[in-house]
Structure 1
Amino acid sequence: MMPHPHVLADGSTVQEQSAEGWAATLDVMVDAGYSCIDPTDTWIRIADLSSARRQEFARTVRAAGLQIPAFSTSRRSVMDPESWEENLAYSHRAIDACAEIGIPLINFGFMRQLTPAQAKALWFWLEPGPVDDFSDEARALAVSRIQELGRHAAEVGVQVALEMYEDTYLGTADSILAFLDDVALDNVGVNPDFGNILRLHREVEPWLEIAEKLLPRTNYWHLKNYYRDEEPTTGSVRTHPAPLEFGTINYRKAIGMAVEAGFRGAFCVEHYGGDSISVGATNREYIRRVLPRVIPAV
């Protein structure tokens, strides 16, 4: 996942940047050994580029020797009370942008913009964020809006992944399965990002239980890990970002479970803090080392 900022040092944005500027950023990823990227709209909003600029971006990515197996939107909830209409329109444009330049999958979620307290915190998950309206009427509306996006995506040959995230309609394994069943579209699956859940400073659903339930419905996967420490006498919880192989989640086991369940999609390595590009590269090599040991013999 591209960890680069959308707003540049001079106050301009990546949208306005030249192809040479894009290439310079992509070269950082190539130098770190990546062959694929998820450009993510925290870096570049391909939905808001003109068609000519989108084609220019695609050519620049190819010239760097990179591929794009998926594109993630971030904090563009179609159920945000203040900006759902804008976010829904944006999501439709993002689907068309993916189809236009050959990106086969788009990742959506119900997470909303960070609150001022979250934006100020060392780690944003230490502060409570927005909570979805879980009334029957609101949830039904959420299902209908994802169905709308899913049908559009199917028409243009794009898959949709729905990202697990706390306090949303996709906050627990069971709520995700029920939501997928209600959406009932073959091109809509789940991104079981249980790192989003493990890092919370509260009681959380065990990652292994989430994996057992969601990996059979997975079509894309953001992977990140955290150290998690719980003090049973006080209820205190502490978490901190960790490389995949060192954190609390056993990703060797999780990846093996995913492969056994039939997952053949892309792994998107993600990390917060420090040199996330290099930690992501370490995570990438860990996955490459683990995969040959968990793929069933043909």
Structure 2
Amino acid sequence: MSLDAASVLIDGPWEHRFVSANGARFHVAELGDGPMVLLMHGFPQFWYAWRHQMSAIADAGWRAVAMDLRGYGASDKPPRGYSTYTSTADAATVIRSLGEESAIVLGQGLGGFVAWSMPTLQPGITRAIGSLSMPHPRVMRRASYRSTKQRRANRYVMELQRPFAPERAMARDHSYVERLLREWSSPYGEYPSPADVTRYADAMALPFVAHSAAEHYRWFGRSQIRQDGPLFNRRINGQIDQPVLHLQGTEDGCVVAGATGGSARYVSGAYTHQQIEGAGHFLTEESPERVTAAIVDWLDTVDT
């Protein structure tokens, strides 16, 4: 049976909406009233990765908005626009299109990389940031050069640089997504379940999603030999004066906890760092209760 984007509009207490922003149409799921908390997923997932946190964030008096990043889920899949510059502009214009002047921005994995970049690239709209399973981009870059373990964990990025092959693998069957979910999650937990694999593998097999997802990572590779990569690394070398939450699983198979410390040196504002013992890369789903509590407690400290 062929799937379409409607398959990711999963029922729940949230409301599904489509908003025009930055020249594209984005799907969001939102729940609650109050100041906005924008939630961005990672690879190979979509907005649904935040489902466990949305109700608690809303119950705590916030407006939880989980978006599908450009190219994922039910958001548009344009042929270009997959740089971090564009991703931060996407997030900023989604916030504005939903009627807010600013928001707290949280991201997991790839979404965390974007969240770290928001205070520099979109400072006027970013009140605070949270990153799960992703250190500051300069820390990640340094670890990718200096740590053998992190270079080994980064092999998926190199795989995604190849034309056509990753897209075909993701669309062919569930094995590509299942391999990433299992390799990056904790070996001590029960994630992913067969239902998790099916949910995310089917979403990655939607038309154009696999190519779009790969393009985010191809920008990381291409930009290093062009002007935009070194310029990005210089621009984010300053201090973040907004509050920052940083959560990291000790058993992360994608971002090696022991090789990626040091993000605090880029934060002059309040910095909250917490390691989630026994959890892997997919923190919102592998350890939903601990992660939700950490986020809600931190949100209570952010000035509204």
TM-score of the two chains, using structure 2 as the length reference: 0.34
**Which has the higher Rg, Structure 1 or Structure 2?**
1
